[in-house]
Structure 1
C-alpha cells in the first residue's frame, strides 16, 4: 500500500518534467523556414541545411544518379505490386468461393508477366491459363477464349458452381473468364 503513493509521486514528477520540456521546445527560438526563395538570406539558409546532410558530400552526381534510379525503380515495383494486389483481391472477392485461390494467384502472376507484351487479346487469355490447363491444346483454349474476347450477345455461358461440381469444360470456361477479368483489372489500373 505504501508503494502506490510513491509511484504516483514519481509519475507526477515525470509528467511535470515532460510538460516543462515540451514548453521549452515550444518556446525556444527557432529560425523560421524561409518561404521566399528570392530573398538573399535563403541561399545561406539552405547551404547550412545541406551541410548537415553528409550524403551530398560523399557522393558526386555520377554516383547519385544510379542510386536515384534504383530508388525510383523500387518505388515503381512497390506501386505495381499494390496494383496487382488490389486486382487480385477484387478477383478473389468475386471468384474466391468458386475457384481454388492458388489458381487465381497463378492467373494473376501470369497476367502481370504478359500484360505489357504485344499479344492479341486471345493470345493473352490463352497465355494466362495455359500453365494451369496444360493438358488442353492451344487451339482448344483459343476456341474457349473467342466468346470472351469478341463480345457476343447474351450470357457468356460460364456456369457458376463450386469447383468440384464443374465439368472439365466448365472449369476451362470459368478459368478463361477469371483470366479475362484479371487482364481487364490490370489494364484499368495501368491507364
Structure 2
C-alpha cells in the first residue's frame, strides 16, 4: 500500500504535461488534491469505530479501482480526460487513508495477543517499528518502480499494473483477516476460561 502513494511522484507531472498540456505549476495544484482528500479521509476514519481489517480491505479495493481509472488504461476504451483522472486521484487520496490510518492499530491489536499485559510497551514499539519500516520500503519502491515501468510502458498502463498488484495484495490479505479473527476469538475464550 505504501508503494501506491509514492508511485506517482516522479511520473504524474510528466503525464499531465504530455497528455493534457498542463503547466508544471498547475500540475502541482492537481497533485495536491490527493493529499487534501487524504486529510479528509484520515480525519473521518479516525472518528469511526469499525472492523479494522475489513475496512483496510475495502480501502485497498477502492484504491485499486481508482488506479485503473487514473490513466485510464486503453483496454477500457475510455479516452484520457483530465477531470476523470482528477476524480480518480481524489478517490485514491481519500480511500488510501483507510489502510494507512488503520494498519498500525491493526498490527498492535494482532500483536497484543502474543504479548503479556506487562509487555504492552514492547508490543507498541514493535508494531510501530514494523509499520514504519514497511512504510519506508514502500516510499522507496514506489518512485523507483514507477520510473522503471514508465520507461517501457505508458502512464495509463503503469497505473493498471499497480491496480493489479493492489488487487492481488487484497486477495492475498483476505485469508489473514479470517485467520486473525479466529485467533482473537480463541484467545478471548482461553482468557475467559482462565478467569473462571
**TM range, normalised to the smaller chain?**
under 0.3
Higher helix residue share? 2
TM-score between the two structures when normalised by the length of structure 2: 0.24
